[in-house]
Structure 1
């Protein structure tokens, strides 16, 4: 839901758009475009993220790397972020490369700050906290100091590149304090923030010793965007309980002399582009599809980073329960789980890998036959050009995170299906996508028996019902695509009036 090649992994792939296509706007986008006169391209677009996409590449792995790189190829702008090398010097030399009308600006980080800012505060504190996993939060004051230091350094390095009328779009939990740091550096441009992962309710957020500072920093943005209405409501509830911010209407808050917009902007995918990939299977994938067709075997597919938030052990247990309850399915159904590694230097990720591999071995050891392996487990990245036809050839898409910002795999699975004979999406109620994709079979990922029953329902669903559900899901995925997401957010940011003294040239 993005897999840039250099470790550590930049942004969770299930939480960002896979590409840009189409021009249809969401209802949210239409409203924002109407309010701002339909012009979401005032000035340059400056994108800031933890990692920078390769703007020269035509074959990005997906996610943010594709979703916004194409936009910068169409308009003047900058993409700014860490260069991904683990052995630099924080605040060191800035590298600038022009690609068409845009500039790719990358900066280094020291090993100490990679450990403290990225692996530490971002991924050992904020990631588990925002995914409701307080038991996995590893808070250390030094992590927060590194997190603040990196954001302050990024702001100092970015400020000289900014122009008066730039729109600055900051992405994800690594960079929550960046607007505050830019304001202190004298920047008065419109700055928006989009959170790709969930935002927790107040009673979970306050478990962080720095919760007040984080929310105060968020309020220095002009537009704060979330994946779901539930995430936006969580921030609004925190403000109502613990902040002097005054709510003006459903989405606008008065913060001192400024107005801040808080709204949902659900991410989409390049549905047309992903669907086109399904018709370009290489020989290896075609052989696999034909073999299953000859043997009359159906396939359940899951595609997730190996992350504790994805509910992978529960998913394997549900498949095992399905086989126990319906032995007639043995040798006729396989489960393919693609789970590429991520953040392997964080201890919790080693634990989930060991648990998953033990489960796969135990289930296969008990059920497998010489010509049937019930679970096929792939612990490496698989090219999207292979995943798309594999999804199309799978009769069930199994997408059951314990908590997820959006989960674009669900949307990709729908886009990949043959409308004449579509598969069935089994989707967690706790994925952000569930707020939109009502025609999927929604499940509680903590309830193993319910997931097993739902898998059986999906495998035995009549064609007419499969077509009806898929038609509605595909219509939504096609209309609410990645470009609609961008148009909605940038229209809101173009119309923002929150900054105190705008526009003003950033200091050089």
Structure 2
């Protein structure tokens, strides 16, 4: 029995060294870390969009000891524009995160979405061997399960939706709500991060399709799909080991020596769902309310560039940078600037050093499917406090965090003071309980558990 993984993003990216030699480097992210070992163990195929060097259609991976094949689909510029930046990220992404005002529901981009999904499904059918398990990932490829099912009626197909599933009222604003649900219900096993998302999905199936739901199942067109809530984990031991390595500890000490204040840390993709402007406004309100904190507390915000071709993301960058400038202009004194703003990607080592240096971690999205940053901080921190939005999927798993409503600027400002003044023994006790829970459902357990459930369908 082999395994076929289908995702928009590929697990390895081609990079040329200074000597000109082409190397395939693992992509950073939970999906690669979880599924690459599983696919190496089972053998099979990973199908993804070949964004860089698209002329290379297939490669055996890992490069030095191949265990599976990567099939890379070449998308035209028009397909990238309409399928990825258009329908996936201007329709499904904002709709799923409750930003209806930002959606662009356009027939042309929907058609591109259908066509690209069909290409992914065709590649899977061509790669399939009797007995293989097929696991499709995320909102960019929601139609693929049904398309595969039509060609392979007896295949075992799984799907995981990695972003929030919205309430039925919000989902039904999508003009192609029936088509999307029908596409997903081609799968035997559908995974989401929380039980709320599962319940919202079943309600949508009832209201939009008239499908039958019972327990954890949906019956549609004589096929039963089972729903499971399976929050993705992280590599807990990897983060713990990295956090205590001499290199990371040294970098964390350097960060603390440079700032010489208590450190509030934010680490986010620059995305309108992450609540960065609201976080900055709350810090501004905190400094207004507690002038004694000036010169003693610094907000260090790392913003990783994201989807810069989309206008709303460029507008967000200008808004965030304007807020940083206003707050610094208002509160700076005696060589201290309240906000340190870093706009670039960071390596895992640098990221963990910042986790290690921080006194308080701010994970305050307006809506998030899960949020792995919260989990990474809990695994890496020595004695920090996690402030977590109640609208992050991870909130259900992390009751020891100080949970907040990111829309309540004054409430968030008050929680900052609580976090900064929390006694050391309480901070360590909260972190210990968080870590114990993270270890019970780490990244590899998530992947192996889903694959076992799919095999048993």
Q: Is TM (by shorter chain) over 0.5?
A: yes
Residue in 1 that maps onto 2:398: 437
* Superposed CA offset, 1:446-475 (max 9, x none): 000000000110000112221222121111
- Report the 3-state secondary structure (helix = DSSP H, G, I; strand = E; otherwise coil) of the residue aligned with 2:304: coil
Residue in 2 that maps onto 1:332: 296
Alignment of 1:277-296 (within 5 A): 277-280=242-245, 281=247, 285-292=252-259, 295=260
Match of 2:111 among 114, 139, 145: 145
Match of 2:236 among 271, 287, 290: 271
Kept in 1, the 8 Å contact 2:147–2:186? The answer is no
Match of 1:253 among 218, 222, 226: 218
Residues in 2 aligned to 1:59 and 1:287: alpha-carbon distance in whole angstroms: 29
**Deviation for aligned residue 1:257:** 2.5
- After superposition, the Cα gap between the structure-2 partners of 1:219 and 1:489, relative to the gap in structure 1 and judged at 3 Å, is same
Residue in 1 that maps onto 2:388: 427
Q: Which moved more, 1:276-285 or 1:45-54?
A: 276-285
Match of 2:446 among 481, 485, 489: 485
**Deviation for aligned residue 1:64:** 1.6
Residues in 2 aligned to 1:174 and 1:114: alpha-carbon distance in whole angstroms: 11
**Deviation for aligned residue 1:187:** 5.4
Residue in 2 that maps onto 1:168: 134
- After superposition, the Cα gap between the structure-2 partners of 1:170 and 1:391, relative to the gap in structure 1 and judged at 3 Å, is same
Highest relative contact order (Cα 8 Å, sep 6+), 1 or 2? Answer: 1
**Deviation for aligned residue 1:333:** 0.8
* Superposed CA offset, 1:298-349 (max 9, x none): 1011110000000000000111111111111111111111111111111110
Match of 1:473 among 397, 410, 434: 434
User: Over the residues paired in the alignment, what is the CA RMSD in angstroms?
Assistant: 1.8
Matched, 1:78 2:39: no
**Deviation for aligned residue 1:439:** 1.0
Matched, 1:344 2:308: yes
* Superposed CA offset, 1:91-131 (max 9, x none): x9832434322111111000110001000000000000000
**Deviation for aligned residue 1:59:** 5.7
- Report the 3-state secondary structure (helix = DSSP H, G, I; strand = E; otherwise coil) of the residue aligned with 2:126: helix
Structure 1: where are the runs of 5+ without partners?
1-42, 497-508
* Superposed CA offset, 1:344-368 (max 9, x none): 1111101111100000011011112
TM-score, length-scaled by structure 2:
0.93
Residue in 1 that maps onto 2:263: 299
Structure 2: where are the runs of 5+ without partners?
14-22
**Deviation for aligned residue 1:71:** 2.3
Match of 1:362 among 310, 313, 326: 326
Alignment of 1:119-134 (within 5 A): 119-134=85-100
* Superposed CA offset, 1:53-92 (max 9, x none): 1187566423222222232233312111110149x6xxx9
Match of 2:32 among 65, 85, 94: 65
**Deviation for aligned residue 1:289:** 2.8
Residue in 2 that maps onto 1:23: none
Residue in 2 that maps onto 1:390: 354
**Deviation for aligned residue 1:374:** 1.1
Residues in 2 aligned to 1:399 and 1:143: alpha-carbon distance in whole angstroms: 32
Match of 2:58 among 91, 95, 106: 95
Alignment of 1:456-467 (within 5 A): 456-467=417-428
Kept in 1, the 8 Å contact 2:12–2:26? The answer is no
Kept in 1, the 8 Å contact 2:266–2:362? The answer is yes
Higher strand share: 2
- After superposition, the Cα gap between the structure-2 partners of 1:60 and 1:147, relative to the gap in structure 1 and judged at 3 Å, is closer
Q: Which moved more, 1:69-78 or 1:140-149?
A: 69-78
Alignment of 1:382-421 (within 5 A): 382-418=346-382
Q: Which moved more, 1:486-495 or 1:314-323?
A: 486-495
Residues in 2 aligned to 1:376 and 1:72: alpha-carbon distance in whole angstroms: 41
- Report the 3-state secondary structure (helix = DSSP H, G, I; strand = E; otherwise coil) of the residue aligned with 1:328: helix
- Report the 3-state secondary structure (helix = DSSP H, G, I; strand = E; otherwise coil) of the residue aligned with 1:337: strand
- After superposition, the Cα gap between the structure-2 partners of 1:93 and 1:151, relative to the gap in structure 1 and judged at 3 Å, is farther
Matched residue count: 443
- Report the 3-state secondary structure (helix = DSSP H, G, I; strand = E; otherwise coil) of the residue aligned with 2:269: coil
Residues in 2 aligned to 1:264 and 1:350: alpha-carbon distance in whole angstroms: 34
TM-score, length-scaled by structure 1:
0.84
- Report the 3-state secondary structure (helix = DSSP H, G, I; strand = E; otherwise coil) of the residue aligned with 2:301: strand
